[in-house]
């Protein structure tokens, strides 16, 4: 009678644990930060010119401002203190008057070292 081979260990429990961890991290992670308020950017003609900055200045249809954790008039001081290395994106709602957006672009050009970019949706 040949000697018995020891029964091999199975990796199925380890696979189960890995899949459970994967599901847990997928459900609990935040892929992209949520916007402070709903912004629908105006449509533009060239989607390749979109900015890739992580610093985004949100402008609501009513003119409310948000940048990272700062809100309202505190936004300008926060941007000046942070001195972002990339241009700051402006994502304004399509209902925001162009005069307000232009004023924000001008102010960003004055305080941000790299200036600003206006983000529009591809059209």
Q: What are phi and psi of 70, to 5 degrees?
A: -80, 145
- What does the pLDDT read at residue 106? 85
- What does the pLDDT read at residue 22? 94
- What does the pLDDT read at residue 86? 76
Q: State which residues form the domain around 95.
A: 43-122
Residue 82 lies in a domain: yes
List of residues 6+ apart from 42 with CB closer than 8 A: 92, 94, 120, 121
Residue 4 lies in a domain: no
Residue 117 lies in a domain: yes
What is the distance between the alpha carbons of residues 78 and 93, in angstroms, rounded to a whole number?
Answer: 21
Residue 110 lies in a domain: yes
- What does the pLDDT read at residue 60? 87
Residue 89 lies in a domain: yes
Q: Which residues of the chain have pLDDT under 70?
A: 33, 41-54, 120-123
Calculate the CA 96 to chain-centre distance.
20
Q: How many domains, in total, are found in the chain? A: 1
- What does the pLDDT read at residue 98? 85
Residue 62 lies in a domain: yes
Residue 16 lies in a domain: no
**Measured distance between the N- and C-terminal CA atoms of the chain, rounded to whole angstroms:** 77
Verdict on whether the full-model pTM lies above 0.75: no
- What does the pLDDT read at residue 16? 93
């Amino acid at each position: 009678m040949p000697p018995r081979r020891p029964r091999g260990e199975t990796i199925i429990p380890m696979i189960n644990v890995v899949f459970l961890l994967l599901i847990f991290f997928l459900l609990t992670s935040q892929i992209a930060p949520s916007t402070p308020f709903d912004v629908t950017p105006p449509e533009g003609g060239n989607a390749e010119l979109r900015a890739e900055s992580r610093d985004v200045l949100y402008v609501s249809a009513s003119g409310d401002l948000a940048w990272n954790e700062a809100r309202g008039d505190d936004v300008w001081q926060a941007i000046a203190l942070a001195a972002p290395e990339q241009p700051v994106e402006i994502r304004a709602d399509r209902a925001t008057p162009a005069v307000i957006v232009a004023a924000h672009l001008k102010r960003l050009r004055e305080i941000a070292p790299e200036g600003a970019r206006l983000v529009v949706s591809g059209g």
